[in-house]
Each structure stands twice: as structure tokens, then as C-alpha cells.
Amino acid sequence: MDAAASMFARAERARFVSELVDLVRFPSVGADPLRRRDMARCAGWLARHLASIGFDRAEVMRARRVGQDGHPVVYAEWRGAPRAPTLLVYGHYDVQPEGPIGEWSSPPFDPVVRGGVLVGRGASDDKGQLFAHVKALESYLATSGALPINVKCVFEGEEEIGSPSLASFFAEHRRLLAADVAVVSDSTQAPNGRPSLTYAARGQVALDVEVRALSRDLHCGIFGGAVPNAAEALAAILARLHHRDGRIAIPGFYDRVCDLDPRERAEMAAVGPSDAEVLASAGARAASGERRFSLYERQTARPALNVNGIASGHGGAGTKAIVPARASAKLTFRIVADQDPADVARRARAQIQRIAPRGVDVTVTPRILVPPALVDRRHPAMGVAAGALARAFGAAPVFLRSGGTLPAISALQRVLGVPCVLMGFATPVDRLHAPGERFSLASFSSGIDACIDFYAGLRRRSALRGRSSFSP
């Protein structure tokens, strides 16, 4: 580790935290069309910040997908080390919607530090983790005026909606973004406190389901018993999407799901969280899903279908005696190798149409389509990252699968041809996507140290040759 950079980071810790608070303050909910301006303001703040700490070039770039502008990408580069390798640092400044607001103990976009923990939407996913890189880079630039390697930062604004513009952005700027390796800090460590390197992420298929049973809501006294009810039709559909044994009830859904290798299952059982740890970190009384698999396997290596939300009729105070005309649900599939997101979306749509009750119209609209991702555990940069994590967090990392989706990985691998290191600093208790999202300031500091160490380790040309010998 670079001692000067590391000492600087320690000395400036209070300022770093206060800047992270400023970053978390932006209500950068990419899914919310009313927050488009907040998204642009957040991107602008980040670009200016990167310029101010010494990047040669730092700017807000347009991202486009078919038919529309996406949320902008913040790009910055420092290329002052011509003989050293080039690292692409990926992160995202967009965050999940903050609701239900009543379950936050402090306002989601008015972040507070309590007991060494920063609470706010995006604190860990992904602003805190992204900012650990930014502050590690600043610590080098402020102390030696240079970085040990060339660095290209790509901070996008559409991760939480499935990164729909990212592959086109990469394709459009293939030459600009050329790099030897990419690092993504957007994942969580092991529940026992050990750091981790993530080697697999599930893909994602998000669908909106709309049921229309009537042309308008009706008085349930006058019409109840004689006409279809949209809420009941939706419930009937959703209830038929899982078999009783926990499997997803869509014909052909499992056709392309790869079986787990027995050796990997053994490794997962050895290093992954136990069923009890998963339930404890979930705050759940009971498990759910496919009984043949451990909870860690169900979370990460097996596909899943979740209803994320349902809405129909009267949700307010008191009673409202209606037959609701319409109902809607938001569904998310997590898929695994070798499932194809478009194929899953097609099958799901067909099955939902097939099981819809008579007399109602059902529309299924795909919103997110992301393939599953696997990274090369033996890439030499993995060994560099493992060493950096071990020194910064005081324990050797383990290889973990993530159940979440990192759309950037497949785009980085397929479009840019860059191998990826997934080095997360959040922990399983950080309430990612939930009310009360948080990031421990200890993780923030150790994350900065790990980044400082990782960059230094990559400087050696040899660091990117051969195969990593690290194994947990």
C-alpha cells in the first residue's frame, strides 16, 4: 500500500465522509421521471468533483438507447502512466426508489451519521462504494500528483433500471474506454465479516403486469358477484406462477439453468453463509423457495421470481366498496447461466396470458433484460484484489456468488472485452434497496485502503500476466 496516500486518506476522513453525505443527498432515483433534473445535478456534481481532485478530463456524457436519451454517464480519466496498465473503475450514482418513506428513521435523502454508520438511500448501493474509489484516487493525486496506473472512471445513472443504455455507450466509445481490467465495487461481503470477491451475478428480467377487468371501478354492492374483479384476477395469476415446491411454474423456464458442479456446491457450503445466517440477515422467520438447495444457493445460483409490488383499487384509509377495474404488479426474475433474458421474458408473458382468468385483459411489458454474469476467478487481477482486501480488512477474502444483478459486467466483458474484478465493500446488513439503507464508515475507510493497495498492485506489468493462484 502507498503509505503517503493511505495516511492522507486517514487524515482527511472527516472531510471524505462529509463529501459522501453531499453525494447521498442527491435524490438520484433513476426510475422516477420526476427526478430527471436531480439525476443531471448529481452527475454534474460528480464530474466537477473528479475534475477538482486532479483528473485530466472529467465530464458528463450523453447515454442513449433506442428511441430515447438515458441518464448521463460521468466519465473521467487520468492517463499519466504510459507504461502502466489501464484500469476502468465502474460505479453508478443512481439509487433505488426510497419508499416506503414511513419506515425510514431519518429522511432517505437527508443522510445522517449515527454510531459510525451513514444512513441514507444509496449510502452503500452504490454511492459509498463508488466514492471509496474516488477518495483512494484523490489520496494518490493529492500526495504524489500521480496515480500508479492509468484510470478511467465510468459512473453510470441507470444501474437500478437495468443499465439499458450502457452497452450502446460502451459500443459508441469503445476506443475511449479501452482498458486492461475493470473493477466494480457494487456488491456485499460475506455475512461473517470476511471480505469477498464476487465471481457470479444473476441476470434480471423485470416485467410490468397490468390487468383490466372493467372499463371503470364499480360499486361492489350493486355489481359484486356478477362481474370480474381485477384485483382477484391478478391474485389468481400471481398465485399460479410458483409450484407448491417453490419452483417457478413457467413451462421451459428451467431448460437452460446450469446444474451446480458438486465441487462448487461444496465450496459454497464451506465459505458461504449458512441458512441461519441468511435468515438472520434477512430478518425472516422462515425460508422459502426450492427445498433441494441451501438458502445461499437459492439466493445466488438458482433463479428466482419475486413480485416487487402490487396495486389495485383502494389502498387508502378506511373502506371503499368497489370492484376495482384495474390491477398491476411488478415482477422481477433473477436468472442464472445459461438462461437468456429475452427467452425468459417471452415464456413469462406467454404463461401469464395463458393463465389469465376469462374476461380480463392482461398486458405484460418487459422493463429490464440483463443476462447473468460470470467472471474469471483465475485472472491475475483477482490475486491483486485478494491481497488488497486481505490487508485492508484484516482477513483473507472468500469467493462468493451474488444473487443480485450487475448489468455492467456482461457489457464490460462482451462489448469492451475487459475482464472484471468485483470487489464489494457493503455488508449483508446494509439494507440495500430497503428503507434504512446504510454504509459503515469503517467499510468506507477500509474500502479506500483496499483501493489504494489494489491500484499499486496493478502497477506491476506482471500483475496482469499468468493466472491468479489465490483460492479461498
117-119, strands of its sheet edge to edge:
112-114, 117-119, 438-440
Query: 184 forms bridges with which residues in the sheet?
Result: 90, 422
Q: Integer distance in angstroms from the first to the last C-alpha of the chain?
A: 22
Q: Which is nearer to a second copy, 11 or 282 (by Cβ)?
A: 282
Which residues between 243 and 282 bind a second copy (CB under 8 A)?
Answer: 278-279, 282
Give the nearer residue to a second copy in terms of CB position, either 242 or 391.
242
Among 37, 286, 462, 465, interactor with a second copy by CB under 8 A: 286
**Binds a second copy by CB under 8 A, chosen from 27, 54, 108, 162:** 162
Cell of 74: 460521468
The set of long-range contacts for 464-469, using a CB threshold of 8 Å and a minimum separation of 24, is 464/85, 464/180, 464/181, 464/380, 464/381, 465/380, 466/380, 467/378, 467/379, 467/380, 468/377, 468/378, 468/379, 468/380, 468/381, 468/382, 468/383, 468/384, 468/386, 469/383
Site for a second copy in 186-205 (CB under 8 A): 188, 202, 204
Specify the residue, 432 or 441, whose C-beta has the smaller distance to a second copy. Answer: 432
Q: Which amino acid is at 1?
A: M
Binding of residue 135 to a second copy (CB under 8 A) = no
- How far is residue 273's CA from residue 293's CA, in Å, rounded to a whole number? 13
Residues 129 and 136: their CA atoms lie apart, in Å, by 11
Q: For the window 60-79, what string marks contact with a second copy as x by the rule CB under 8 A?
A: --------------------
SS (H, E, C) 169-191: HHHHCCCCCCCCEEEECCCECCC
Q: How far is the CB of 249 from a second copy (least distance, A)?
A: 12
222 binds a second copy (CB under 8 A): yes
What is the closest distance, in whole angstroms, from the C-beta atom of residue 75 to a second copy in the complex?
A: 24
> Smaller CB distance to a second copy: residue 142 or 260?
260
CA atoms within 13 A on the CB side of 412: 28
Contact set for a second copy, span 421-460 (CB under 8 A): 428, 431-436
- For residues 163-182, which are near a second copy according to CB under 8 A? none
Q: How far is the CB of 27 from a second copy (least distance, A)?
A: 13
Neighbours of 222 (CB within 10 A): 10
Peptide bond into 100 cis (omega under 30): yes
User: Which candidate, 210, 455, 472, places its Cα nearest to that of 324?
Assistant: 210
Instruction: Mark the segment that binds a second copy (CB under 8 A) among 41-49, 165-173, 214-222, 462-470.
Output: 214-222
* Binder among 31, 40, 374, 395 for a second copy (CB under 8 A): 31
Question: Does 28 help bind a second copy (rule: CB under 8 A)?
Answer: no
Least CB distance to a second copy at residue 242 (A): 7
Question: Alpha carbon 282 to chain centroid distance?
Answer: 17
The correct pick among 30, 85, 148, 195 for binding a second copy (CB under 8 A) is 30
Identify the residue among 116, 193, 251, 359 touching a second copy (CB under 8 A).
Answer: 359
Among 22, 56, 103, 338, binds a second copy (CB under 8 A): 103
Q: Could you tell me the smallest distance in angstroms from the CB atom of residue 25 to a second copy? A: 20
**Ranges assigned E (strand) in 398-437:** 398-402, 420-423
CA distance 280 to 282: 5
Is 324 within 8 Å of 360 (Cβ atoms)? no
Residues 327-356, interacting with a second copy (CB under 8 A) = 327-330, 332, 334
Residue placing its CB nearer to a second copy in the complex, 18 or 308: 308
Q: Which is nearer to a second copy, 80 or 228 (CB)?
A: 228
Bond before 338 cis per omega within 30 degrees: yes
Select from 113-121, 319-327, 371-379, 460-468 the region that touches a second copy (CB under 8 A): 319-327
Residue 37 as a binder of a second copy (CB under 8 A): the answer is no
Is 467 an interacting residue with respect to a second copy (CB under 8 A)? no
Among 11, 178, 266, 284, binds a second copy (CB under 8 A): 284
Cα atoms found within 13 Å of the Cα of residue 356, Cβ hemisphere only: 24
> 137: helix, coil or strand?
helix
CB 160, min distance to a second copy, A: 7
Q: If binding is defined by CB under 8 A, does position 118 make contact with a second copy?
A: no
Whole-angstrom distance, CA of residue 422 vs CA of residue 196: 9
Least distance to a second copy, CB of residue 248, Å: 9
Regarding 11 and contact with a second copy (CB under 8 A), the answer is no
Please, which residues have CB within 8 angstroms of residue 239's CB and are 6 or more apart in sequence? none
Name which of residues 375 to 414 contact a second copy (CB under 8 A). 402-405
Taking the C-alpha atoms of residue 207 and residue 370, their distance in angstroms, rounded to an integer, is 12
Residue 242: DSSP 8-state: B
Only one of the segments 31-39, 112-120, 126-134, 378-386 lies at the binding site for a second copy (rule: CB under 8 A); that segment is 31-39
42 vs 149, which CB is nearer to a second copy?
42
Tell me, residue by residue from 299 to 318, as one string, x for binding to a second copy by CB under 8 A and - for no binding. x--xxxxxxxxxxxxxxxxx
Q: Inter-axis angle of helices 441-459 and 129-144, to 10 degrees?
A: 60
Q: φ and ψ at 120, to 5 degrees?
A: 175, 150
Q: Is 228 in the site for a second copy (CB under 8 A)?
A: yes
Instruction: State CA 402 to chain mean position distance.
Output: 10
Which amino acid type is present at position 78? Answer: W
* Residues touching a second copy, count (CB under 8 A): 105
